[in-house]
Amino acid sequence: MAQPLTHNQRLLHWVNEMAQLCQPTQIHWCDGSEAENSHLCNLMVQNGTFTRLNPDKRPGCFLARSHPSDVARVEDRTFICSARREDAGPNNNWADPAEMKNTLRRLFQGSMAGRTMYVIPFSMGPLESPIRKVGIELTDSPYVVANMRIMTRMGREVLQALGDGDFIPCLHSVGAPLKPGQTDVPWPCEPDPAKKYIVHFPEDPSIWSYGSGYGGNALLGKKCLALRIASVAARREGWLAEHMLILCLTSPQGKKYYIAAAFPSACGKTNLAMMRPTLPGWKVTCLGDDIAWIRLGQDGRLYAMNPETGFFGVAPGTSQNSNPNAIATINRNTIFTNVALTPDGDVWWEDMGVPAPASAIDWQGQEWKPGCGRKAAHPNSRFTAPAAQCPVIDPDWQRPEGVPLSAILFGGRRPSTIPLVNEALSWEHGVFLGSACGSETTAAALGKAGVLRRDPFAMLPFCGYNMADYFAHWLSFAQKTDPAKLPKIYFVNWFRKSDTDRWLWPGYGENGRVLKWICERVEGTAKAVSTPIGNLPTPDALDLSGLNLPAEDVQELLSVDKSGWLAEVNNIEEYYKNYGDRIPEPLLRQLAQLRQRLQ
């Protein structure tokens, strides 16, 4: 056993107790050093978990292939075990905490036999941040260690900052103990989906994850701690833990506007976070692409911070065209999972924007050729890359106190009804818009295309408590400060289509035109027209110079379809019924007022 790097008695006792339960062959305390990382990566190359990529093309990069049963977050095996079922809410799977702990103890008994238990000290947020949280993840997966080193502040300095303080215990096992002499496999995991568990105990707080080695199921700092556990802590401590990107838009005059944005999956979040605006003189820098922790500053404004240090991005669809800055970020020191391997030792995936190789090894390790009828990369294949490598990373992305927000955006993939951009009439109305967030599913996602799935605040899978109480927490900020100091709230929709199924808006870098209007609204200079749903740009208020957008398309993008909106109101009303009488009164009032204005 490597020497513990701490004198924290509670931590030493817990590690000892979990080692007795899981029975690892040895314990390694991670120091986060370059030497340690190099050793673990070499070890994984020897074990077949990692393939080292061509150092001339991608220095310091590796490819991993997971077991076919272990390729994504497993929502149906994710649990919130609060003491009372109603506190978890209809948005979560609930189980009795005592019963669940008994189940998990049986599974973890001897689960790390024949393996090393790695002790990963990590911090979500800069160590000096007033709201940083320290977690300790125990895992039997070196793949998790290598990814956590990219995604979080990890190692010796975290233990030094922790001292004798409190931490969040996070226990993880791939659930594949080794008998003496048994040969290991490249991707050990529990193949039976019914035996995978990702469990949160918000009252402890603690996290137990068993059976999966993939992404957010195993990198417990990400969705588990930074959203599900942090959202509960944030409500108690008076801040917000959100599934939001943070960007800075700088005007040609050098004025900075910080914007946070929440979109459900497949709505271009990472693309917006690193966008290259097409408007001359405007510039976007990225502070984070996935998670924002937002607190009230002493001046009464909201300040946002990215608690992570890396990007865990979806590879397919990431291209020079859709996101050139992401492509530049992942050219070195990156871990790729479930993409294709080319004969020259590089990676490839669908919609990468470069021609498919004549042959490749696909994500399952099989020989692959174009036209063979299979995808070369898994649709949820990923890259884990250091945020510091992003060419447009903002100089203030690690500011412990965060950056002051000018605006908050919500959005979704909506082919009809929802206009290009809509400004909320008040904080309360903005929270109402966030609560009604939704996206239409694509055929690839759920078999049946065009089904509207509500995903309030893009937090449905990530809120660690009853969503109705979450809405109330958001509403409470208008009482905590002068509402005039709160960010303005907007709803955007890049995905509006014509009757003939044609995209009406070009998207990508052109979205900077919408952000420009939002910043001008923050300044009080941009024109808007008052409508029943909120304030919309007048057709001449959007800077469309050089776009050649037909006038009728602009009219359609900025129109209010009253019958569509009345149907929307009925749909939101039905959705609210899931939460019974816990839905805050102000949201029901907003719904009634919207119906009245439309009629």
Under the banding of pLDDT at 50, 70 and 90, the label for residue 4 is confident
Task: Supply the DSSP symbol for 254.
Answer: -
Residue 444: per-residue pLDDT: 40
- Residue 14 carries which side chain, given as an amino acid letter? W
- What pLDDT does 448 receive? 58
Pick from 119, 137, 269: which is nearest to 216 by CA?
137
pLDDT of residue 442: 54
Amino acid residing at 225: L
Cβ neighbours of residue 50 under 8 Å, at least 6 residues apart?
Answer: 41, 44, 62, 63, 64, 143
Q: Give the tens place of pLDDT for each residue, 199-220.
A: 999 999 999 999 999 999 999 9
pLDDT in tens, 348-359: 999 999 999 999
pLDDT band at 443 (very low <50, low <70, confident <90, very high): very low
DSSP one-letter code for 574: H
Mind listing the pLDDT tens digit for each residue in 358-370? 999 999 999 999 9
Q: What is the mean pLDDT of residues 67-95?
A: 96
Rounded CA gap, 358 and 365, in Å? 16
pLDDT tier at 265, thresholds 50, 70, 90:
confident
Burial state string for 574-589 with b = 16 or more CB within 10 A and e = fewer than 16: ebbeebeebbbebbee
Q: 296 by DSSP, 3-state: which?
A: strand
pTM beyond 0.95: yes
Least confident of 226-235, 263-272, 394-403, 566-575: 263-272
Instruction: Name the more confident of 19 and 438.
Output: 19
Is 267 a catalytic site residue?
yes
Asked if the bond preceding 456 is cis, omega within 30° of 0, the reply is no
Q: How confident is the model at residue 440 (pLDDT cuts 50, 70, 90)?
A: confident
Q: What is the mean pLDDT of the chain?
A: 96
pLDDT of 126 over the 70 cut: yes
Average pLDDT (49-66) is 98
DSSP letter, residue 327 = H
pLDDT at 447: 47
Q: Widest CA span of the chain, in angstroms?
A: 74
Render pLDDT for 226-258 as a digit per residue (tens, 0 to 9).
Answer: 999 999 999 999 999 999 999 999 999 999 999
Tell me which of 267, 286, 390, 437 is the catalytic residue: 267
* Mean pLDDT confidence for 578-583: 97
With vertex at residue 32, the alpha carbon angle to CA 233 and CA 182, rounded to the nearest 5 degrees, is 100
pLDDT of residue 60: 98
Q: What digits encode the pLDDT tens for the residues 358-402?
A: 999 999 999 999 999 999 999 999 999 999 999 999 999 999 999
Report pLDDT for 282. Answer: 98
Q: If you average pLDDT over residues 576-590, what whole number do you get?
A: 97
pLDDT of residue 539: 87
Q: Residue 13 belongs to what H/E stretch?
A: helix 9-22
Q: DSSP states of 202-248 as a string?
A: TTTTEEEEES--SHHHH-TIIIIIIIIIHHHHHHHHT-EEES-EEEE
pLDDT (0 to 100) of residue 2: 66
Question: How confident is the model over 312-324, as pLDDT tens digits?
Answer: 999 999 999 999 9
